[in-house]
Amino acid sequence: MEVIEHGGRRYAEIIRAGTDVETSTFFSPSSSSFQFGLLAHDAGFVEGAHYHPKITRTIEDVQQMFVVQRGVVAVDFFTDQGTKFDEVVLRSGDAILLVSGIHALRVLEAMQCVSVKQGPFLGTENGDSCF
C-alpha cells in the first residue's frame, strides 16, 4: 500500500492493482472512520450469515474511496494554502482512499470508477464533490 502524506497529515491511501495478501488485511488505522483493505480467503471459506447492527457514531470527516475500472486518472494533492505537492496516476484495478485534505481529479484517458463515500450527498453548492 502507498500512503500520501504531507506536513504530518494523511491525504490518501492507495492499493495498486496486483497487490496480493495472504489473509484479509486492512491498511487504514483502526481509528479511521473509513476502513480500507483487501479481503483474502482460501477456497472453501464460508463467512456465516450475519448483519451489521446499527451503532450511533459521530463522523466529522468525509472520506472517499474509488476503484478505477477502466481508463487513467490523476489525483493531485494540495496544501491548505493551495500549493500542489504531489500527484498519483491510477490505472485499471488501482484503488484510492481520499482521507483528508484538498485534492483534484484529472481524467487522462476516458474512465469509469466505482466510488464510495459517506452520505448523505450535500450538493456541490455546499462543497460536496460528485466524483
Q: What is the pLDDT along the chain (131 residues), one digit of tens a residue?
A: 899 999 999 999 999 999 999 999 999 888 888 889 999 999 999 999 999 999 998 888 889 999 999 999 999 999 999 999 999 999 999 999 999 999 999 999 999 999 998 777 676 666 666 55
Q: Is 2-39+59-117 a CATH 3.30.460 domain? A: no
For the entire predicted model, the pTM comes to 0.85
Query: Are 118 and 84 contacting, i.e. CB atoms less than 8 angstroms apart?
Result: no
**Residue 29: CB partners within 8 Å, gap ≥ 6?**
none
The widest CA-to-CA distance across the chain, in whole angstroms, is 52
**Chain-centre distance for alpha carbon 5:** 14
Q: Which residues neighbour 60 within 8 Å (Cβ) at sequence distance 6 or greater?
A: 33
Q: How far is the C-alpha of 11 from the C-alpha of 102, rounded, in Å?
A: 8
